[in-house]
Amino acid sequence: MDKFTLHEDPISANCYKIRLTAALLGIPLERRLYSILNGETRTAEFLSTVSSFGRIPVLQIGDSTFLPESNAACFYLADAANPAFTSSSPLQVATLIPQDLLQRAEMLRWMFFEQNQHEVNIATLRYWLYVIGEDKLETSRRAQIKGKVAAGEQVLDCMEDHLAKSEHGWFVGDSITLADICLFAYTHIAGDAKFELSRWPSILKWCEQVKHVPGYIPMD
């Protein structure tokens, strides 16, 4: 098995997703920490070796393969979860990716939704309000807060609606998949972005369900 190294900032739930996926699959990850705020992902060394785009997380596979994009890294780990991994997996399933063709596409549907509609609103608001601080925001960002709050609420309404109808309380099928992990990352800390999760009871219940999966690890 290749050695995996996660280039990450613990403040980012995009990074946490990958750690949670690896933990549920029983895959060891070495962590390499950077501070986004201190510009450590913009150094010449980072840009030339880890990612020329200057973003984290990046999953390093072996010595020389670097895979950016959190949801792609989660997919890689779960896709690689063959029987060789299973023996050490806390889950009784070999993979977090459904075998069924339609369920696999539905899992990806929620993962793309997460990156296109959830992350760009809820994670961005959290970064602005919780990490940087509202009083330090540029005017152009401040002007976007209202729109992002409304879009974030619509995203949570959509998740609530889906989970309320879900027989097993998971996004797809009858067990946890990458869709749950990727959406959980920024949802369970949406309070940092000033979303009151008590407004969305099915989401709160689902968050508890995720926290009780064998092998679960919390965000730092």
Contact residue for a second copy among 79, 134, 174, 208 (CB under 8 A): 79
Element (H, E) at 7: strand 4-8
Assess whether the previous peptide bond of 57 is cis (omega < 30° from 0).
Answer: yes
Q: Contact between 115 and a second copy (CB under 8 A)?
A: yes
Give yes or no for a contact between 8 and 61, defined as CB atoms under 8 angstroms apart: no
Q: Contact between 106 and a second copy (CB under 8 A)?
A: yes
Q: Which stretch binds a second copy (CB under 8 A): 5-13, 63-71, 88-96, 209-217?
A: 63-71
Locate all alpha helices (DSSP H) within the chain, ordered by sequence: 13-25, 44-49, 70-79, 83-86, 101-113, 124-126, 139-142, 145-165, 178-187, 201-211
Residue located via tokens 């407004």: 199
Q: Contact between 143 and a second copy (CB under 8 A)?
A: yes
N-term to C-term CA, the chain: 27
Q: Contact between 146 and a second copy (CB under 8 A)?
A: yes
* Cβ proximity to a second copy, 52 vs 88, nearer residue: 52
Q: Contact between 61 and a second copy (CB under 8 A)?
A: yes
Residue ranges binding a second copy (CB under 8 A): 52-53, 61, 65, 67-73, 75-76, 79-80, 101-102, 104-106, 108-109, 111-113, 115-116, 119-120, 140, 143-144, 146-147, 154, 158, 161
